[in-house]
Every structure is written in structure tokens, then in C-alpha cells.
A and B are shown apart, each in its own frame.
Chain A
Amino acid sequence: MIRIAWNRILHRKIASITILIALICLYVFIPFGLQQSKETKSTVTETIEEFGRGSYDMLVRPPSSRTEVEQTLGVVEENYIGDSKGGISIEEWNEIKSNPTIEVAAPVASLGYFRGKQFSIELPILDNPTRFTYQFYTSDGQKKYPIKEQKSIMFFEQSRPGMVQYLTRVESEAQYSSPAMLIIIPASYYLLVAIDQESEQKLTGIDFSDLNKKQESAMLKTMLDNYGDPPVVKVLQRSDLTIPLSIKLRTETLDVELEEYLNKLDLKQDDWIMQGNSSVNIESVLKDLRSEPIVESNTTRVDLSKFQKPFNGTALKLTKDLKPTTAKRYSAEFNTSVYYTASRIEYKNLDTIPQVNLVENGDPPSYKKVEKKGESMLDSFDIPFFIEQVGTFSPLTDPQNKLAGSPLGIYGGMQAKTVDGEVLTPTTIPGSFIPAPASGVTTLEAAELIKGDKPIDAIRVKVAGIKKYDEAAQQKISKVATNLLKKGYEVDVVAGSSFKELTLDVEGIGKVVEPWTTLGVAQELTSTWNYVTLLTTGLFILFSVLWLIVRFNYEKNILHNENTLLYTIGWKKSTIHFRNCVEQYLLITVSFLVSLFLLYGLEATKPMYWITACLWGLSLLIVTYLLTRKAKGKNRSEAYKRFASILYYKRLIFPAMMILLLSSLLIGIQVSTLGHSFQKASVTFLGEFTNNQTLWLQLSILVVTFVLGVISVTESLNALFLERKSEFTMYRTIGWTRGAVIKHLIKEVSTWTLSAIIAGVVLGATILHFLNVSFGWIGIGMGTTFILLTITIYIIVLTRKL
């Protein structure tokens, strides 16, 4: 019997070889694809375990702290730490900190926008009387906004060293004493955050010990003495920040005489012309000066950003050619006890592109409700505190830290950009929509002083005993989170969160791309890849089983005539079945053995051999079942009116159509889901990193899918054409040209192949739609499938030897 079966295999050389190749592909590629899929999942898991945790595990906030945008989109702005309302007391924080399951509990209290002392810029002494007109500007990176009003100083001459004759309108007599043309740089307000230096250092590795320094300058001491020794809020200033500040300066040379204007102000020759500020003629004199003809005019803009820091600046001097340099003599302003708090941004239109509306269209525009607080030392001697910058801190810039986001963190340095790529920065005035990092940190005691007894906005908690971010770690975190939830806090597990870019529609600016933090990205990534792996596995297994059923059913169908003949000449049905099975067993087993060699060559893992062995066993079972099953159906005598050949050969064509449909489903779904998952993951930094780690694995899964799909379609078409070979020969005999035969064949083949592919594509698209895959990826996946399979089919048809 084996010999008979073997002879039939040899007799049908081409058919046998193609089925051998197809089976080998199935036996090698299915385990290979499944293995790649499993490895992709492992790589994702390992990546997340290594990089997904971030610097802390959960964020504990007072009840009802979640914003609408957070609840709706599951994202928070970088550096967003609430609206300075607080809600957790230091005692409550101490209680959380003392929990043994918690390694670190680092509190954050947003205090608002504060300023440091401001220094002056000295204007140059020029050779001729000159009017300096100046205007300070801040910038959001896109536009410049004037700060306060434009002012002028009229320089006449330096009568002698130390005696600079200039005139400007001032309100206070205190200004009279300046021996130089000094203008005070306007105050810049920056976010000040209170931390606990010990837990913050544990969490971030940043050294905050300078906060312990006792550094009271002589100038501060004088101020403290004058103002009744108010408390000093010590601030560490972030070292890598610059202030977007510039000055626009216009110099106009005037043909005027000092003497003439001293006379107009009723001053003597030795008097200082600034004394004229108290003269009754001052306004008319200034008017006269404004109408003086200009001999020469020049406008320049000086960038001051690199000289200024959030809580401490540098006194500057402009050279004669208006270049800034550090100054030895200066004036300073200490009015640091005024500060601002700003409300949360109210994002609108969260369903599509979140919208940020103006609250006040000033210079610069404000997107938050800003409230002035504190007491100005210019108005009162009873001031609440002095701000004193005592040192600096530098955030760590490890690039891997960027993978895992720390929502409501305070050190983020990601940039907000316009869609054209312009970098946007917060201005020096509170109210910007850009979530700026904390520019200075201070102590929790200072927070209590400024905000009262519940100053803490959030506590960042790191759970004890976690080395990598795996499932056990997630359970541990979840347990601690549940305990804190029970105590009434709002708890967000943020381990595994990552950055993503979000496009905002900002009134007055347009589309802005900002880095936001997606909560629970690692979990989502894991579940996405679990789902993709499951889908790939399911599809490959379904494809294998159905392919085997369809293929062996096809074999059964083409054996029909032979079986009838053997039965007619007296063979028993069981003997016929046995003969048919033996032939297929031989083909299956030869394919299996060759596959084992190939798997060995591919350095396959043990599970891959097992999968192949299972497929082999499954093939034997399917063959045994199908080839021993009783045939059904009656012979038809009337011809079909339409699609005659397709319907007549349905026993051969329908299995081939099934294979096409399956291949369309397999390729389409694989391309779409991989692409969709890849794109979905890539919106976050962690996801993008994971994608890079798994790119080749994913590509190899796609290649395996394509090869399986194309091989199976090629094999089934070849088998079909071989079966109908005599028909095509007959066409040539009766005088059809090769072109006519091809045309006829294409017409027929196109009808059923395209129907099968379209059915597969539509079915695939429907499944993908229910799996929430984006329309774009459904289109790409299904389009690729359609093109690939159609090209394959036409190549097979057009290259046939007819």
C-alpha cells in the first residue's frame, strides 16, 4: 500500500512538491511566528519591568483633586501640581511616611509664583546729550510682550566724575540720589514649590542640602531690621533655567544744552537736574524735551535672559555700544513678599482637540485666573516674609528617566511647541498655559507659613520592596494604594506612566503640542501586547487548522474519480480510504521531518518543536477524518446559467476560496493590529522605546504572515490549475490563442479570487472595527492584503504555461 501511495505521490510530482512546500512552510512558520509573537510580548514585559516604573509608584492627593481633563482623557500636564490649594497636613504626611510598606513619601506643596530680588541696568554715559527710551519685554517663545510702560531718561552730560546729569520722571524722592542712570529690571514671577528635602533626595537623588544653609546677606539683614524681622523663606533656585527677558532701547541724540534746561527748571548751574522733578515746570520742560529735533536715532534690543535667574539676577551695565556686562554699582529691589496664585486651566472641548481659552487678554495674555497675594514692602512695614535665594539645584537629566513619566512631578523639562516647531516658554508673568517646572524649592515649614496648616498638594509614594516593575510589583502597589484610598485620599497608581504628546488649541497662539503624562501606560502597553499576542496566536492556530481542513478536503475532492474507479474494480471502501490516507500521511510526515531539520537550522526553541509536532498530529487527525468520511451530494444534470465553471468546480474552487479568505484575514488583521498597536504605543515615550525594542520581532511576524498567506494561496491555485490542466490543453487544441485562454482564465479566476479576497477583507475590517482598531490602520492592512494577494494571483495566472 505504501508503494502504491508513494507511486501516486511521484506521479503527481508538481502537486506533491507544492503541498510539501506548503506543509513545510506551515510547520516552520507557524511555530516561528508564535515564538516571535511570544518574544515580542516578553521584550515588552522586560522593557516595562526595567524602565516602566518611574521614580515613584503612586500619587496621593486630597479628595476631589482630579481635574476634568484627567478624568476624561486619563492624562495630566507635565509638572502640574494643582492650584496651590493644598489639603494634606504635615501630620498626615508623617503618618503615611511611617507606613513600613512605603519606602518614600515625598510631599509637594505648590506655593504659587514668587520673585526674588531684582537688580538694575546702568545706562552708558555717551559723548552727546541723548534720550534713552526703553521698554522691557518678556516672551512666550512666539511673541514678545511689553512689561509695564515705556520710559525715558534724558542724559545731558557728565559734568564731572560721579556727577551724571540726567532727567527722568520719578514719583519718589528716593531716586534722586543715584549717581548713575540705573533702571531696575522688572520682577519675574516663577513657580515655587515646597518639598521635604530628605524624602525628595531619596526619590530624586538631587541634593537639596543647601536649604539648610544659613546665608543672610548684609543687605537682607538691613531689610529684616527695617521691617521688623519677618520670616525668611529660603529658596533653592533651579540652575538650568533662563528668564525670557529683553530690553528694547532707543537712543536719540539731541542738540540741547544742560544750562538751558537747568534754567527752565529754575535750577542753578551746580544743581543736579534730577532735582527738577519737584519743579512746577517739570511737565512743560519734559514736553519741550520731547519736541527737540533728533540729530541721530538708533534702536537696539538687548537679550537679558542669560543674566537673569528666577529668584536671583545679576546687576548689569550697558557699554557705549549697548552691550550688556556685569555691573559693580547697582540698585536692587527687595519687594519679594508679593506673590501670585493661579487657578487650574479649564480645558474645553475634550472630545476632540482640548481648547485653552484666554482668561485675560493682557500683555502677556493670561490663561489662568491669577490672584495677587502677600504684602508689598512699598506699601507696608508689616510684610509676611522675605524670599532669599540660598543656593541652586540641578535636576538629573538621565535620558532613560524620560521613558517613564512622573505625573504631577515638578522637574519635567519637556518642551511645548507650536505645530511649526517653535519652542514655547512661560513668560515672566503668572498665567501662562505652559506647565513650567518648579523654578525654586523651599521647605515645608515655609509652605505652612504661606499656605496654612494643610499645605501639601500631593505626596509621591514609592512602595518598599520592589526591584522591577512586574506583576508582583503591580500587586504590591495596588495593595498600598487600596489602603490609602480607604483613608479617604485620592490615589493614582502612576508607576508605568509615560509621556505622550497632546495637541492643544490655544487661543491667540493656535495649535500647540505639549508633553503630557499618560497614566498607566505600562499596564496598557502590556495589555495591548497581550492582546496582539493572543490575536496572533489565535489567528495562526485558526489559519493552520482551517488551512489543513481545506487543503485535505481539496485532496479528497480530487480523489473522487479515482475512488469511484477503484470501487468499480472491486476495492473495498476501507482499502480505498486507507490508500488515500497513507499517501497523505507520507506527505505530512516527510514535511514534518524536513521541518524539524529546518527548525534545527533556525536554532528553534523547544516549544517550537512541540508546536510543529502538534501541527503534525493535527494534520494526521484531519486527514484521517476527512478522507474516511462518507461523501455526500448528487450529480447535477442541468448547466448553471452563470458562473458555470466556478459552480461546477465548487468542490475544488470553494476550498481555494476559503484559503484566500483565510489568507486575507490573516494578513489584513496582522498588518492592521500590529500597525495600530505600534502607533498607539508610539504616542508615549515608553511605548516608543518598547516599539524600538520589538521592531524586528514584529517585522518578522509580518514576514511570516505574508509568506504563509502567499504560499498557501499559490499552492491552492496551482493545485486547482493542475487539476484542470486537460481543460486548458483542449482550449489550445480547438484553436484558442494563449491570450484568449489567459483572458478566459483571468475572467473566471478574478471572479472567485476577488470575491474571496473582498469577503476576507470585509470580514477582517468588521472584526478589526469591533476590536477598535483605527480606520487608518484597517485601510492600510486591508489595502495591503488586497494588493498583495491580487498581485500574487495575477502572477500565478499570467505565468502559467498554457
Chain B
Amino acid sequence: MISVKNVSKSFQHLSLSQKTVILQNVDLSIPKGSWISIVGPSGSGKSTLLNIISGLLKPDTGEIYYNDVDLYQLHNKAKSDFRRKTIGFVFQDFKLLPYYSVVDNVMLPLLYDRKKKELYDKAVTLLQSIGIKKELFSRLPEGLSGGEKQRVAIARSLIADPDVMVCDEPTGNLDRENRDRIIDLLGQLREDGKTIILVTHDLDVADHGDKLYFLKDGSLTLGGVSV
């Protein structure tokens, strides 16, 4: 269970004297093994909320709990460890290292934690499980299609076997066919017990979640009803 309690965040622009409020008193409960989708217009604070939930951006007020753990009470190293082992990230632009091969990119999060051989085997299994052909394993990300890149990114997010998948516009750069494959993959992961938090513009994608939230003017509403 992930609990977002009374989270607010605003940014001070250097050129402006006023603060821009991004999130205001946001509360959210995400049960384990559920898929929640958050939609909203550009600049509404979707990515900010994701960053806060992931422990990357400290909120001005409020707390984030993973079960009983207050994420922002952890010191930096523990927070990094927690993030690496508990949260898997999927980004719109894939964020694959351009100079590493497909398999090395998948291994990246745990590169300094586990034995390389063991990690390699796991990466290969993951890649095969999400339908990446073996001949692509040694390729650079540049040589993959958008859908392949995102599947590799998902494999990377799964390498540490996390409980939570944080997906920031995972289908934003994909065509319809690839988008559907990624949605299927995420659905599969939910069935495997992963909690999925997905931010998107695409209502078709968002509809696949258990719950759909709208973020507008810093406030979060459930299916149009304020939560």
C-alpha cells in the first residue's frame, strides 16, 4: 500500500517573484497490486507527483508512505537503495544508455549489487519474457524500434524485481501497435502482483487501470470526483 498524504509542491521561478503551485494537498492511496492511471494536461504536475512518489523530489509538505515506511524520513543512501529495489521506472523517452548494449542496459540498476553472471542470466530471461529477440541483445539502443526500446526499458525496470512500477508516459513515443503491446505487458505485470502507477495523456491507455485520476490545478480527482 502506497499512501500519499497531503502533499504540496510549488516552484519559485528565478525571474518571477511569485511561486507557482504545482500540487496542493494531494492525498492518494494505492493498494498493492493495483494499477492507477493519472491523466492531466501538460504542466499539470503529473511528472512532479511521480517524482515525489518515487522519492526523487521532496514535497514542500506531506508524506509518502510505502506500507509503514515514510520515504522522506530515509537518509539518501537508504532512499536510493529503496528506490532501486522497490520501484521500477519506465520513461517516455526510454532513458536507455546509448553506449550500452540492450542486455547491459537491463543489468544497469543492479550492476554494483550482484554478480555479473547471475545478473546477465536474469536480464536475458527478462528480455526473452517480454519478447526481445536474442539477436538484439548485443545491439545498441539506437538500433531498436521505439516499441523495442520501451520493452527493454521495462525489462530494466524489472531487473530488481520491484513491487511498484512508475511509468511516465510509457506509450507517448509509440505507435498504436507498440502502445498496445506495452499496455498488455503492464497488464501482465499487474497480474503478477506489481503495483502500477501510470501517468499519461492518453485516455485509452489510462482506461486500462483500476482507477483513473485527473490532475488539474494542483488537485487530484478520481474519475472526475475529488479525492
Chain A residues engaging chain B, CB cutoff 8 angstroms: 635-640, 644-645, 647-649, 726-727, 730, 732-740, 743-744
Residue B84, interface by CB 8 Å: yes
Given contacts A636-B140, A727-B97, whether A734 and B76 have CB atoms under 8 Å apart is no
Q: Which of B95, B102, B139 has the most CB of A within 10 A?
A: B95
Beta-carbon contact of B99 and A639 below 8 Å: yes
Q: Would you call B109 an interface residue if the criterion is a C-beta within 8 Å of the partner chain's C-beta atoms?
A: yes
Give the docked Cα–Cα distance between A738 and B112 (Å): 12
Is the pair A735, B139 in contact by a Cβ cutoff of 8 Å?
no
**Alpha-carbon gap, A43 to B115, bound state (A):** 65
Among residues of A, the one whose C-beta sits closest to the C-beta of B98 is A648
- Are B85 and A735 within 8 A (Cβ)? yes
* Interfacial chain B residues near A636, Cβ < 8 Å: 140, 142
**Residue pair B138, A732 in contact (C-beta under 8 Å):** no
If the complex has contacts A636-B140, A637-B139, A736-B112, are A730 and B95 also in contact, measured as CB distance less than 8 A?
yes
* CB nearest neighbor in A for B105: A639
- Asked if B84 contacts A736 (CB within 8 A), the reply is yes
Chain B: number of interface residues, binned into ranges: 20 to 34
A788 to B5, CA, bound (A): 52
The answer to whether B140 touches A638 (Cβ under 8 A) is yes
Whether the pair B112, A735 counts as a contact (CB closer than 8 A) is no
A739 to B111 CA separation, bound complex (whole angstroms): 13
Contact A730 B97 (CB under 8 A): yes
Judging by beta carbons under 8 Å apart, are A737 and B81 in contact? Answer: yes
Q: Which of A644, A645, A734, A738 contacts B156 (CB 8 A)?
A: A734
A737 engages B89 (CB within 8 Å): no
Q: What chain B residues lie within 8 Å of A737 (beta carbons)?
A: 76-77, 80-81
Given A733-B89, A735-B83, A744-B112, check contact A644 B138 (CB 8 Å). Answer: no
Q: Which of B56, B80, B82, B156 has the most CB of A within 10 A?
A: B80
B173 at the A interface (CB under 8 A): no
Q: Quick check: B84 and A735 within 8 Å, CB to CB?
A: yes
The answer, among A639, A644, A734, A743, for a CB contact under 8 Å with B109, is: A734
Q: Cβ of A635 and Cβ of B142 under 8 Å apart?
A: yes
Instruction: Fill in one digit per residue for B134-171: 1 if any A CB lies within 8 Å of its CB, else 0.
Output: 00001110110000000000001100100000000000
**Across the interface, which residues of A come within 8 angstroms of B83, CB to CB?**
734-735
A637 / chain B contacts, CB cutoff of 8 Å: 139-140, 142-143
User: Complex formed: what's the CA distance from A299 to B138 in Å?
Assistant: 99
Interface residue B24 (Cβ < 8 Å from any Cβ of A): no
Q: Is B80 a contact partner of A644 (Cβ separation < 8 A)?
A: no
Q: How far is the CA of A730 from the CA of B98 in the complex (A)?
A: 12
A739 to B109, CA, bound (A): 14
Q: Which of B80-114 contact A (CB under 8 A)?
A: 80-85, 87, 89, 95, 97-102, 104, 108-109, 111-112
Given contacts A639-B99, A639-B140, A734-B89, contact A644 B104 (CB under 8 A): yes
A732 vs B80: C-alpha distance when bound (angstroms) = 7
Q: B100, A735: Cβ atoms under 8 Å?
A: no
Indicate which residue in B80, B97, B104, B140 contacts A735 across the interface (CB closer than 8 Å): B80
CB-based closest 4 A-B pairs: A735-B84, A648-B99, A639-B101, A637-B143
Tell me whether B56 and A733 are in contact (CB under 8 A): yes
- What is the distance, in angstroms, from B108's C-beta to the closest C-beta of chain A? 7
The reply to whether A639 and B104 contact each other, CB–CB distance below 8 Å, is yes
Q: How many Å lie between the Cα of A647 and that of B99 in the bound state?
A: 8
A-facing mask of B44-74, CB < 8 A → 1, else 0?
Answer: 0000000000101000000000000000000
- Residues of A contacting B138 with CB < 8 Å? 638-639
Closest to B110 in A: A735
A295: shortest Cβ distance to chain B, in Å? 97
Instruction: Determine the distance from Cα of A735 to Cα of B95 in the docked complex, in whole angstroms.
Output: 14
The interface residues of chain A lying within 8 Å CB-to-CB of B160 are 735
A105 to chain B, nearest CB (A): 80
Would you give the shortest CB distance from A770 to chain B, in whole angstroms? Answer: 39
CB-CB under 8 A from B143, the residues of chain A are 637-638
Q: Which of A639, A732, A734 contacts B108 (CB 8 A)?
A: A734
What sequence of 0s and 1s flags, for each residue 99-133 of chain B, a beta carbon within 8 Å of any chain A beta carbon? 11110100011011000000000000000000000
User: A739 CA to B89 CA in the complex, in Å?
Assistant: 21
Which residues of A have CB within 8 Å of B157? 734
Q: Check A649–B99 contact: CB distance below 8 A.
A: yes
Residue of A nearest to B51 (CB): A733
Q: List 21 A-B contacts (CB under 8 A).
A: A635-B142, A636-B140, A637-B143, A639-B101, A639-B138, A639-B139, A644-B100, A648-B140, A726-B95, A730-B97, A733-B56, A734-B89, A734-B156, A735-B81, A735-B87, A735-B109, A735-B160, A737-B76, A738-B80, A740-B112, A744-B111
